[in-house]
Structures are given as C-alpha cells and as structure tokens.
C-alpha cells in the first residue's frame, strides 16, 4: 500500500517539472534526461521494487507460511479433535458391538463350560464310583492274594525248614558214605594192587612158560618120548579103563 502511494507522488512531481520546462529542446533534453532518469529511476525502482517485492514475497511467504501454519495447525487440531472424536466414537461403537458379541460368545462358552463341567462332574462321579468299586475289588483281590501268599510263605517256610533238615541229613549221610567210600576205595586199591601184582606174576609165569615151550619145541620125537608116555599112561591106566567101561 505504501509502495503504491509513493509511486503516485513521484508521478505528480514529474508532471510539475515537465510543465515548467516546456521548451522543446529542453523538453527534448528533458525528455532524454527524463528518459535516462526515468530509465534510471525505473531501474532503481525496478531494483527497489524487486527488492521490495522480494522482501514482500519473503514477508508474504513468511506470513503466508505462518498463516498457513496457523490455519493448518487449527485445521489440524480440529481434524485431530474430530478424528479423535470420530475414532473414539467408532471405537466405542465397535467396542460396544464387540462387547455384545463377546458377551454372546462368553455366554455360549459359559453355557458350554457349564455343560462340560456338569458332564465332567457326572463323569467324575461315575469314574469315582467305578474307581471305588475297582478299588474295593482290588482290595479284595489283594487281600486274597496276600492271604494266599502268606499261606504259601508259611508252606515255603516249612518246606525250607524240611529242606534244610533233609540237606543236613544228606550232608551227614554223604559224609558217612564218603568215609565208607574212602575206606572201600582204599581196600579196593589194595586189592587191585594185589591183583595187578598177581596178574603180573601170572603173566610173567606165562612168559617163562612160553619161552620154555619155544626152547623145548621140536626137541623130542615120539620114539624118544614113548617110555615116558607109556609111564604116564600107566599112571592114568585106572582112570582110562574106568572111562572105557562107562
């Protein structure tokens, strides 16, 4: 605004001076001079304008920026508030919707859980009854097994006692047998020794006989033996005669 006002005053001053110097040359000179001046002025003003414009643009920019920022901040704040409100509203609506669904689901789940719990309780009771029954059976079985085992243990104890007794008797008998066996073995060894010695002597006698027979073989003919044979026959005459009469 100030810029436009200044420009207007310069134009008026120029028109005044122009009227004073209405001479043509002068006017020409003036015109030239004015032209030059005007050019300079224009130039200066252009520069000033440029600077002012620049400054104005800068200021404007700054202000605009500031304004926009302010406006943007306001709008942003508003939008933010609205958005917040909207979101809150939406969230609340969704939450309420979800809460209803959740409640429904919860109710259903609760009903299911209640049913399951009831079933479970019934099953538990049934199992408890079965368990009790089974336990009673087991107790009974265990009692009978325990009693049987006890009886068997008693029997085993008796058997063990008997076995121990039998074992000690057997050991005693075995010891006696061992002693008898030892005695008999000693006797048998002695007898065997005696028999072996006798056998050896018998065999030795046979060996002697064998060598004697070998040495005497083919030494006698019948003619040489005849007197001896007849002598022996005479000695056995009665026996031979009796045998012939039979």
Partner 1 sequence: MTETATKFSYTDFVLPANTVSHLDLARLVTELERIDNEMTTTAVRTKAGTKKRVARSTHSERLDAFLLANNFKLTDSRKRTAILKQLRLLKDNAPTIHMTFATEADPASLERLAQWLRESIHPHAVIAVGLQPSLVAGVYVRTPNHVHDLSLRGKLTSSHEILVKELETINGRG
- Residue 141 in tokens: 């079985």
CA distance 108 to 114: 9
* 222 contributes a contact to partner 1 by CB under 8 A: yes
**How near is the Cβ of 186 to partner 1 at its closest, in Å?**
20
Binding-site member from 88, 109, 191, 204 for partner 1 (CB under 8 A) = 204
Residue pair 27/21 in contact (Cβ under 8 Å)? The answer is: yes
Residue pair 240/233 in contact (Cβ under 8 Å)? The answer is: yes
Residue pair 3/52 in contact (Cβ under 8 Å)? The answer is: yes
Draw the binding track, 184-203, toward partner 1 (x: CB under 8 A; -: no contact).
-------------xx--xx-
* 228 contributes a contact to partner 1 by CB under 8 A: yes
Q: Is 139 helix (H, G, I), strand (E, B) or coil?
A: helix
Stretch of 54-62, 105-113, 125-133, 227-235 lying at the interface with partner 1 (CB under 8 A): 227-235
**How near is the Cβ of 184 to partner 1 at its closest, in Å?**
24
* 226 contributes a contact to partner 1 by CB under 8 A: yes
* 146 contributes a contact to partner 1 by CB under 8 A: no
Residue the block writes with tokens 């049913």 = 115
Residue pair 14/34 in contact (Cβ under 8 Å)? The answer is: yes
Say if residue 49 is exposed, middle or buried (CB neighbours under 10 Å; 0-12, 13-18, 19+): middle
CA distance 199 to 206: 10
**How near is the Cβ of 179 to partner 1 at its closest, in Å?**
30
Draw the binding track, 147-186, toward partner 1 (x: CB under 8 A; -: no contact).
----------------------------------------
**How near is the Cβ of 182 to partner 1 at its closest, in Å?**
26
CA distance 74 to 117: 59
- Residue 152 in tokens: 């068997």
* 220 contributes a contact to partner 1 by CB under 8 A: yes
Tell me the site size for partner 1, rule CB under 8 A. 35
- Residue 172 in tokens: 């005693």
Stretch of 1-9, 78-86, 95-103, 226-234 lying at the interface with partner 1 (CB under 8 A): 226-234
Stretch of 74-82, 139-147, 185-193, 233-241 lying at the interface with partner 1 (CB under 8 A): 233-241
* 216 contributes a contact to partner 1 by CB under 8 A: yes
* 115 contributes a contact to partner 1 by CB under 8 A: no
**Nearest-5° Cα angle at 13, 12 to 19:** 90
Residue 163: CA count within 13 A, CB half-sphere: 6
Binding site for partner 1 (CB under 8 A): 197-198, 201-202, 204-206, 208-209, 212-213, 216-223, 225-226, 228-230, 232-234, 236-237, 239-241, 243-244, 246
């Amino acid at each position: 605004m100030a810029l436009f006002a200044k420009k207007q005053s310069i134009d008026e001053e120029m028109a005044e001076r122009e009227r004073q110097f209405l001479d043509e040359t002068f006017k020409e000179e003036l015109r030239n001079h004015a032209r030059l001046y005007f050019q300079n002025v224009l130039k200066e003003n252009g520069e000033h304008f440029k600077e002012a414009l620049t400054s104005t643009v800068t200021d404007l920019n700054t202000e605009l920026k500031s304004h926009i920022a302010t406006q943007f901040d306001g709008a942003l704040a508003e939008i933010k508030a609205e958005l917040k409100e909207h979101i809150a509203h939406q969230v609340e609506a969704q939450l309420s919707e979800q809460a209803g669904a959740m409640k429904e689901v919860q109710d259903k789940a609760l009903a299911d859980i209640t049913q399951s719990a009831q079933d479970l309780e019934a099953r538990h009771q049934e199992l408890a009854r079965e368990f009790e029954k089974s336990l009673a059976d087991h107790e009974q079985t265990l009692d009978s097994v325990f009693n049987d085992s006890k009886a068997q243990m008693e029997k085993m104890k008796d058997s063990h006692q008997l076995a121990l007794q039998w074992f000690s008797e057997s050991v005693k008998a075995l010891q006696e047998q061992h002693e008898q066996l030892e005695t008999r073995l000693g006797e048998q060894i002695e007898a065997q020794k005696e028999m072996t010695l006798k056998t050896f002597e018998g065999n030795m006698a046979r060996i002697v006989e064998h060598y004697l027979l070998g040495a005497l073989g083919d030494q006698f003919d019948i003619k040489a033996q005849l007197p001896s044979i007849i002598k022996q026959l005479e000695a056995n005459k009665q026996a031979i005669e009796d045998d012939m009469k039979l």
